[in-house]
Amino acid sequence: MTDSNKHACASLENLYRIFTVPEAPDSTLMQLDDAISDNMIGFLQQHIVAEETDLLEIEKDFTNTDIPEEPVFVSEQTEFLLEKVVAQSVHTASPSFIGHMTSALPYFMIPLSKIMIALNQNLVKTETSKAFTPLERQVLGMMHRLIYQSGEEFYQRWLHDSHQHLGAFCSGGTVANITALWAARNRAFGADGEFRGIAQEGVFKAFKHYGVDGAAILVSKRGHYSLSKAVDVLGIGREYIVAVDTDENNRIRPDLLQKKIDLLKKENVKPLAIVGIAGTTETGNVDPLDKLADIAEAEGIHFHVDAAWGGPAIFSRAHGKLLKGIERADSVTIDAHKQLYVPMGVGMVLFKDPAALNSIEHHAQYIIRQGSKDLGSNTLEGSRPGMAMLVHSGLNIIGRQGYELLVDQGIEKARLFADMIRQSDDFEVISEPELNILTYRWAPASVRRVLVDADPDVRKRANDILNKINRYVQKALREHGRSFVSRTRLTPKRYDQQLITVYRVVLANPLTTTEILVDVLEEQRQIVTDKALRKRMNQLQELLGKNAA
Amino acid sequence: MTDSNKHACASLENLYRIFTVPEAPDSTLMQLDDAISDNMIGFLQQHIVAEETDLLEIEKDFTNTDIPEEPVFVSEQTEFLLEKVVAQSVHTASPSFIGHMTSALPYFMIPLSKIMIALNQNLVKTETSKAFTPLERQVLGMMHRLIYQSGEEFYQRWLHDSHQHLGAFCSGGTVANITALWAARNRAFGADGEFRGIAQEGVFKAFKHYGVDGAAILVSKRGHYSLSKAVDVLGIGREYIVAVDTDENNRIRPDLLQKKIDLLKKENVKPLAIVGIAGTTETGNVDPLDKLADIAEAEGIHFHVDAAWGGPAIFSRAHGKLLKGIERADSVTIDAHKQLYVPMGVGMVLFKDPAALNSIEHHAQYIIRQGSKDLGSNTLEGSRPGMAMLVHSGLNIIGRQGYELLVDQGIEKARLFADMIRQSDDFEVISEPELNILTYRWAPASVRRVLVDADPDVRKRANDILNKINRYVQKALREHGRSFVSRTRLTPKRYDQQLITVYRVVLANPLTTTEILVDVLEEQRQIVTDKALRKRMNQLQELLGKNAA
């Protein structure tokens, strides 16, 4: 045997080893594995660096694009991940991380995920998923029933029917929304006489056949950007997202929606779908779904509800009624990795009519054969992991009452925080919490008093300065690393629809305490006194007069 | 405190517990966790039932659509999952599971996945992913370099540029293909004079502006069904997938491709993209990519390569040349959950031109702001998990040489199996392995000899009977549960393009031994003698005469 052959054999042995020999219990990797099992909270606290490092600095550890010729030891890679990736990741599970929709996970999700990953099923086809297929269909049935309450007989009839689908699992809300609008588009421009349908012939021939100049999706101006992605992907065009104005609580105005529909029809543009929002991403508001359903019904338009965030509010007897009308939606998006507390990334789209997904059906010989129970035939994605197992576990282990508590305490906490802000002298609530999201900004009462009566131009300039101050405060808070609120811009009526920079708070982590909320305000107050802001403060004072600072 | 209040408090406490108190080390769940760490192979062997249970039978355990009011104990849920889900799942990691593209995982992937899940990052935005963002971009750079070899300067310039993207991560090859064709569509029908581009105005106005009656995607008839999903989603229409005939080795015929392009142009249909396949799903063949690149270049058409399966062949010095020409592709799809041995579900699409993904750019105020490094602006999906960490680990721990070995030994094994089949008297190779996939069927030499000279009608009827026999054999093998090959239908030239049912074998698991392959053939031979097949055998004999059986 030559030397080079010996080397190759040695490597082949190594290769078999990584597939057959477990990591040693005392290896760095398995110690981390144990540490997560024993105390995930401790693991995250210990290993994630709180204080923010500049992204440009972090990037320096990720510049090599050469794939190593020789393998790197598992221990070496683990050390790298620990020092450079884990340490510089975001502590999304922290109770003071209240700026985005990614929150803590229940402990049981971690070992269950490990089982799921070890099984490595592929849901595209029953031959690579077996029991996972009926499991996924069951979960879709559970969520469908939660929303539509269609009765036992309905579910017994359709749950496992190979030609019908109560919904689809996917990687997240964006794909869910695209899937819903895809089905809506294909149904609106279905086969008709010699025309074989938009799925077959495309948008161009469909519009020609139906004699329309366009098709539009109507949604409030608070609609998620995934809808704009959706109309781009679907060949409808981003200009055909018709953004309808909202009331002062960020809820779509049905009267204006109706006007837009009338206008579209005059312009020979077909209204393809009305999208109601149950939990706007920025402010957590819920559209008047029942009124939207009325309009959709009267006009014969597909009614989709984007409940990616707010869907689980249905679990709450106290707040579920906010979503009244969702049961009349043709399709509903719900994210499991948001308020079902399942790891990233899994979403669902549910369809009232179990035949709706047939409009996007695809088949292939070697996979997803016609008439089979293969799930790949009615999903946008192909290969998919068995995340349904985690949703199933959440629904069972947390249960209806558990999710209700999670929803209720989040909303209570948001109201409490809004009260705290109102009672403070130096902050202003911009959007009231309807669910568990609110926005606010630093704007002392003295400034606000002057602002109200100020000349519109002065008000505008003052708000511009406040925007810069609040932007600074949000960034500084993030950099300190003790807590995190996000930032967005809203156009409140009280400020003449001017773009106002606000802090956005999402209260989904059950471990977030009142003390944490107190501390956030206190730290923001501190940041406001930063030397770096002195110039802005002076500008504000000059503009508004001494009374305002 | 009332009784009902006490109950609620108790539940709230329970709720906090699931977020703060680790599962007990002696709980069923943690014992499974340990069992997977100690011996994943053993865990899977012990817990997955080999013999197949009918899906209708399995479904009975998944019929309840009520979400439980009261929470279920973690132990109870774990027992359910173990008995009803894990036991009835598919042993995709088994070395004798050689029918699909889901294979075994290296051990280190499991604890690394656990870390990834515990961190629960969201790649849509740096505020929820920090170091994971440059990490993901680095991996895209590594894969880009593997394919395009653009030189150090190129990568230093673009790797972390906030306005450019070397590619995108996604949940799998389907989304990767859609993303590539989406970008191709948007670039082909970009803004032009008063026309603001197809992304803004949609397919209808784009076709009108550019004066075309359609747009088409050209691919061999062995193209993956995701392309048909893609043209449906993208509003182009399924009829505009132009399926080009292949040579006897399932590779696209460039001469016929050119003819199709000429024809499309005569019909005023714009050829939008040529898709070359590097590893057809059914037969593992690779199109002549260099010739496709020539045509695409001469015609000015986007050239996409679907290397979801075969991409990693580039790692091999011996076989990488099969993919020559891939470096000229405008975009390339590669799945990480296939031959990079990463858990389900993660794929990538790479773009030669780092500006290509700007054609699908989206922004939002609260997230993925313009000019930020937020990855959500140029991906089809929104929220996404940190799977890049696992791809990074595979590339480092397995290394170039390791992947080369995996590729080489898979191809060798496929050739060896093809030889075994050829040397046997009772099986027939239908498609020769070019990569690590082959197809064959049961068809004794005596039958084949008669078939060759038989009357076409007799040949057809005999093949129909053989199809039924082979279908039965494939199903029976699966039901026995000792091994698994999949099944598809091909149209080999030697049988006048008749649909022939074949067994499809994918040799990606490094633990699959020659003995396993011998056993598969032996078991299939046994099944052929089943009483249930006696009638078919008689039909065959009657049709072909005594010499043939």
**Under 8 Å CB-to-CB from B322, ≥6 apart: which residues?**
B278, B286, B310, B313, B434, B435
Cα–Cα nearest to A280, from A232, A316, A243: A243
Percent of chain B exceeding pLDDT 90 equals 91
What is the helix (H) or strand (E) element at residue A169, kind and residue range?
Answer: strand A167-170
What is the helix (H) or strand (E) element at residue A544, kind and residue range?
Answer: helix A534-544
**Integer Cα distance of A517 and A483 in angstroms:** 9
At the second CATH level, the architecture of A130-401 is 3-Layer(aba) Sandwich (3.40)
User: Taking a contact as any Cβ pair under 8 Å apart, which residues of chain B between 365 and 384 contact chain A?
Assistant: 365-368, 373, 380-384
**Integer Cα distance of A179 and A360 in angstroms:** 9
User: Taking a contact as any Cβ pair under 8 Å apart, which residues of chain A between 443 and 472 contact chain B?
Assistant: none
| A19 and B CB contact within 8 Å | yes
Q: Is the pLDDT of residue B366 over 70?
A: no
Cα–Cα nearest to B312, from B135, B147, B100: B147
**Integer Cα distance of A230 and A225 in angstroms:** 9
∠ Cα A428 A434 A437 (to 5°): 65
The 10s digit of each residue's pLDDT in B150-166 is 999 999 999 999 999 99
Percent of chain A exceeding pLDDT 90 equals 91
CB distance A10 to B31 below 8 Å: no
Mean per-residue pLDDT of chain A? 94
Enumerate helices (H) and strands (E) in chain B, giving the number of each: 18, 11
Phi-psi region of A250 (alpha: psi -120 to 50; beta: other; left: phi over 0): left
Cα–Cα nearest to A523, from A513, A515, A535: A515
Q: Is the pLDDT of residue B16 over 70?
A: yes
The 10s digit of each residue's pLDDT in A170-222 is 999 999 999 999 999 999 999 999 999 999 999 999 999 999 999 999 999 99
CB distance B481 to B450 below 8 Å: no
User: Taking a contact as any Cβ pair under 8 Å apart, which residues of chain B between 135 and 174 contact chain A?
Assistant: 135, 137-138, 141-142, 144-146, 155-156, 159-160, 170-174
Whole-angstrom Cα Rg for chain A: 26
**Integer Cα distance of B401 and B399 in angstroms:** 5
Q: Is the pLDDT of residue B4 over 50?
A: no
Cβ separation of B100 and A39 shorter than 8 Å? no
User: Could you identify the residue written with the tokens 């698994």?
Assistant: B484
The 10s digit of each residue's pLDDT in B107-116 is 999 999 999 9
Residue A539 tokens, joined: 């500008």
pLDDT band, residue A375 (cuts 50/70/90): confident
Average of pLDDT values for A474-490?
95
**Under 8 Å CB-to-CB from B460, ≥6 apart: which residues?**
B496, B498
The complex's ipTM? 0.96
| B113 and A CB contact within 8 Å | yes
Cβ separation of B121 and A92 shorter than 8 Å? yes
Residue A335 tokens, joined: 């994210």
Please report, for residues A451, B163, B346, the alpha-carbon distance to residue B313 in angstroms, rounded to integers and kept in the order given.
66, 31, 18
What is the count of residue pairs from A and B with beta carbons less than 8 Å apart? 569
A94: distance to nearest CA of chain B, Å?
11
Q: CB-CB: which of A69, A115, A129 is closest to B90?
A: A129
The 10s digit of each residue's pLDDT in B234-270 is 999 999 999 999 999 999 999 999 999 999 999 999 9
What is residue B5's predicted lDDT score, i.e. its pLDDT? 46
B173-336 CATH, one of 3.30.9.10, 3.40.640.10, 3.90.950.10, 3.60.70.12? 3.40.640.10
Residue A241 tokens, joined: 């997202």
Cβ separation of B88 and A382 shorter than 8 Å? no
User: Taking a contact as any Cβ pair under 8 Å apart, which residues of chain A between 244 and 303 contact chain B?
Assistant: 281-282
pLDDT band, residue B383 (cuts 50/70/90): very high
What is residue A368's predicted lDDT score, i.e. its pLDDT? 59
Note the maximum CA span of chain A.
92
Q: Is the pLDDT of residue B367 over 80?
A: no
Average of pLDDT values for B214-228?
96
Helix axes B173-188, A225-233, angle to 10 degrees: 70
A245: distance to nearest CA of chain B, Å?
17
Cβ separation of B68 and A395 shorter than 8 Å? yes
The 10s digit of each residue's pLDDT in B167-190 is 999 999 999 999 999 999 999 999
What is residue B370's predicted lDDT score, i.e. its pLDDT? 66
The 10s digit of each residue's pLDDT in A419-428 is 999 999 999 9
Helix axes B514-528, B456-480, angle to 10 degrees: 120
At the second CATH level, the architecture of A409-548 is Alpha-Beta Complex (3.90)
The 10s digit of each residue's pLDDT in B18-28 is 999 999 999 99
B402-548 CATH, one of 2.40.50.700, 3.40.718.10, 2.160.10.10, 3.90.1150.10? 3.90.1150.10
Other C-beta atoms within 10 Å of A247: how many? 16
Sheet containing A486-490: give its strands across: A427-431, A437-442, A500-506, A486-490
What is residue B3's predicted lDDT score, i.e. its pLDDT? 44
| B191 and A CB contact within 8 Å | no
Helix residue ranges per DSSP H, A85-224: 109-119, 132-148, 152-158, 173-188, 198-210
Question: Residue A428 forms beta bridges with which residues?
Answer: A441
Domain boundaries, chain A: 3-89, 130-401, 409-548
Q: Do B402-548 and B173-336 have the same topology in CATH?
A: no
Average of pLDDT values for A343-364?
92
List the beta strands (DSSP E) in B171-281: 214-220, 241-244, 269-277
What is residue B86's predicted lDDT score, i.e. its pLDDT? 97
What secondary structure letter does DSSP report for A246?
B
List the beta strands (DSSP E) in B41-138: none
A512: distance to nearest CA of chain B, Å?
11
**Integer Cα distance of B110 and A299 in angstroms:** 52
Helix residue ranges per DSSP H, B424-455: 445-453
Average of pLDDT values for B295-306?
98
Distance of alpha carbon B137 from its chain centroid, rounded?
A: 22
